[in-house]
Chains A and B, each alone.
Chain A
Amino acid sequence: MSDQTAAPAAEERAPAEGLLSVRGLEVHFPIRSGILVERQVGSVKAVDGVDLDIPRGATVGLVGESGCGKSTLGRAILRLVEPTAGTVTFDGTDLRALGGEELRRMRRQLQMVFQDPMASLDPRQNVQSVLSEPLRAHGIGGDHRARVRELLDVVGLPASAANRYPHEFSGGQRQRIGIARAIALEPQLIVADEPVSALDVSIQAQVVNLLEELQDRLGLTYLVIAHDLAVVRHIADVVAVMYLGGLVEQAPSDDLYATPLHPYTKALMSAVPIPDPEVEDTRQRILLQGDLPSPADPPAGCRFHTRCPFRQQTRCADERPVLRTVAGHPDAHRVACHWVEDIEAGRIRPAAGAVVEPDPDPEPDAEHAPNPAA
């Protein structure tokens, strides 16, 4: 893997150097079978050749549906699961070459926020203990009580929280504790895996705002993994869309929203409900057929071709597309599709039945419509 492909960051920020660079990352889980002698009969290709760059101070969002490998990718970057191939370079250090103690020390710089704060906090540990554990583990001296109070203050919890236990808090407060634990060691990179999806709607925004505030205050770099495109678009500078182990599109957040190029991104975008009847009544939807194929036996060629409404007879089924730039779009916008240009120019139309046009005659809400007969 050469390193000639440093992807440009979101343009509005200062041209930041890359903090994390992932090249050709693969995580294959073996499928074993047999009674006495276990043989490997196949592998689940959870992550299958991903390149990703995260500039310092930026927020990169990773979206995809369940089973696409986004969480595995996040964990593989931190080496919480062991990648089977590829490189992860953090701040100039190859993380995969690190062993035992070196890796442990490096983890100070890389922390994680998990989806379900109840499951990721020990119910028998009080908050003081939860938040001072990373300090103890990394041999950081000083007044731990004072540091915990400071952390609680930063995430907007009262100092009295230190003596309480996870079950005494609401979901949103627990997620704040999870975030406080992640920033306790002053890391550079935080991988947040579905940080808000377990929370009530009215609470989600509190946590999203907190993450943004902490980024400004502490200069953090985020990789935010989520299935909710609206949340990711809100928080991320650059969004990468993942499908069945690979990235299909990567672009600055605004470009991705304004001009989604990959058929999967288009479908995903059109499927996200928008709380506005005017928009809902007039938008076109691209419906995908069927479900995600099994990552143990991914389709040949383009992973998406089995569900793609724009599928063509040639290339799609036998040649795997790679991320590339498209003429007329910024270099940061990269897509893995053979037919992007033709789709964009309208030379390739989606299959009939895949597109649901808005109701041509939106039924007036009878009792509220002006009634000329009255």
Chain B
Amino acid sequence: MTNSEPLLDVRDLSVTFTRKGGPTVRAVDGVSFTVRPGETVGLVGESGSGKSVTSLAVMGLLPRRGVQVGGQVLFDGDDLLTLPRDRMRDIRGRDIAMVFQDPMSSLNPVVPIGVQVTEVLERHQELKGEAARSAAAELLSRVGIPDPNRRLKEYPHQLSGGMRQRALIAMALACRPRLLIADEPTTALDVTIQAQIIELLKELVQDTGASLVMITHDLGIVAGLCDNVHVMYSGRVVESAGRRELFAQPRHPYTGGLLGSVPRLDAPRGAPLHPIPGSPTDVLRWDHGCAFAPRCQNRVDACLDGPPPLEAYAGRSLRCLNPLTESEEVSV
């Protein structure tokens, strides 16, 4: 399973937003990663790191005006960025599906759930009427929504948050996609509901053999779910590794800093937290040096001489000139 050709191959993706009279903003800057069939890949970062824009670019959901997308997004060999729009529409929803953070704003509030789920089936699988309806009911029950026939007639506001997210996952799975992109799918939910949803995603990925790209700020979710993890900061990948390597020994000071700054439920009480100083808005532009340098405790002079390259280091890819060593694994 792991040696097959990648299903999704993102090469040197960049997204630039331009605004009349304003500066251009490069939200994603040369991001590359691959997703193999059946693999779960995590994109981790804080707000502004470019993780969501990356996923929108892959899905072709960015607006056309004022946005320049560069690089390649190869899905099964086709470059999604150059596909004609109607072919992209066929792929989206059928082969690649997406689950968003806030289920309330991604469901249409004035259309019953049933119509929204059957819409996907009608569009991509040409199911009609009763056949589509019963397929929709089956999908809802599969994602653990009790009494699906009643729920199909209800509107999004009548469902609880966890229920809505399940309905959204049901819609995403309607056509057995080969790739599911989940953008912070549990951030708006309570922890016990989050556990239900994560468990559901795990199960579904196992059953259908689909690949999953999990976008999140929560390292805990990544630790339990993803095979490979890409940590993003200010539009670039700063560290990529298998989850075991990454958590056992973070090498980028940002990754280490993130791990050192979240309180762990199982840590002995009184274990001090080591916050990363500054805020994610204190960034340097990559062409001037490492964007993380202003907040970095491992900074050396060379960090300000231009962007550090992403290089192979200790069994992973790393963008850092002065990586953490074994002794300082969790932030200095």
Q: Chain A: residues with CB nearer than 8 A to chain B? A: 65-66, 170-173, 200-206, 208-209, 227-231, 233-235, 253-254, 257, 267-281, 285, 287-288, 290-292, 356, 365-368
- B259 beta carbon closer than 8 Å to chain A: yes
Q: Which of B250-282 contact A (CB under 8 A)?
A: 257-267, 269, 271-277, 279-281
Contact mask for chain B residues 139-183; partner A; CB cutoff 8 A; 1 contact, 0 none: 000000010000000000000111100000000000000000000
Residue numbers in A under 8 Å from B160 (CB-CB): 291-292
Bound Cα distance A155, B266 (Å)? 29
Asked whether A274 lies within 8 Å of B265 as measured between CB atoms, the reply is yes
B residues in contact (CB < 8 Å) with A = 1-3, 46-47, 146, 160-163, 190-196, 198-199, 217-224, 227, 242-245, 247-248, 257-267, 269, 271-277, 279-281, 315
What's the least CB distance linking A251 to chain B, in Å? 12
Q: Are A205 and B273 in contact (CB under 8 A)?
A: yes
B216, closest chain A residue (CB): A273
What's the nearest-Cβ distance from chain A to residue B308, in Å? 20
B191 CB contact (under 8 Å) in A171, A173, A268: A268
- A66 in complex: contacting residue of B190, B223, B279, CB < 8 Å: B190
Most chain-B CB neighbours within 10 Å: which of A229, A254, A275, A365?
A275
Within the assembled complex, what's the spacing in Å between the Cα atoms of A283 and B257?
25
User: Would A234 and B279 count as touching, CB distance under 8 A?
Assistant: no
Known A204-B261, A234-B273; 7 more pairs at CB < 8 Å: A205-B262, A208-B273, A233-B263, A234-B267, A271-B191, A275-B262, A277-B247
A201 and B265 form a contact (CB under 8 A): no
Q: How far is the CA of A209 from the CA of B276 in the complex (A)?
A: 12
CB distance from A164 to the nearest CB of B (A): 15
Bound Cα distance A280, B198 (Å): 12
Subset of 20 A-B contacts with CB under 8 Å: A65-B193, A170-B281, A200-B217, A205-B262, A209-B275, A229-B265, A253-B269, A270-B195, A271-B195, A273-B224, A275-B219, A275-B222, A275-B262, A276-B266, A277-B244, A277-B248, A287-B192, A288-B196, A365-B227, A368-B244
Complex-state Cα separation, A230 to B275, whole angstroms: 15
Majority SS of interface residues in chain A? helix
9 closest Cβ pairs, A-B complex: A273-B220, A280-B224, A205-B275, A234-B263, A271-B195, A205-B261, A275-B219, A65-B190, A205-B273
Q: Which residues of B lie under 8 Å from residue A270 when comparing CB positions?
A: 195
Asked whether A276 and B223 contact (CB < 8 A) given A66-B190, A209-B273, A368-B245, the answer is yes
Question: In the complex, what residues of B have CB within 8 A of residue A367's CB?
Answer: 2, 242
Least Cβ–Cβ distance between A289 and chain B, in angstroms: 9
In whole angstroms, how far apart are the Cα atoms of A275 and B208 in the complex?
Answer: 27
Question: Is A234 in contact with B162, judged by CB distance below 8 angstroms?
Answer: no
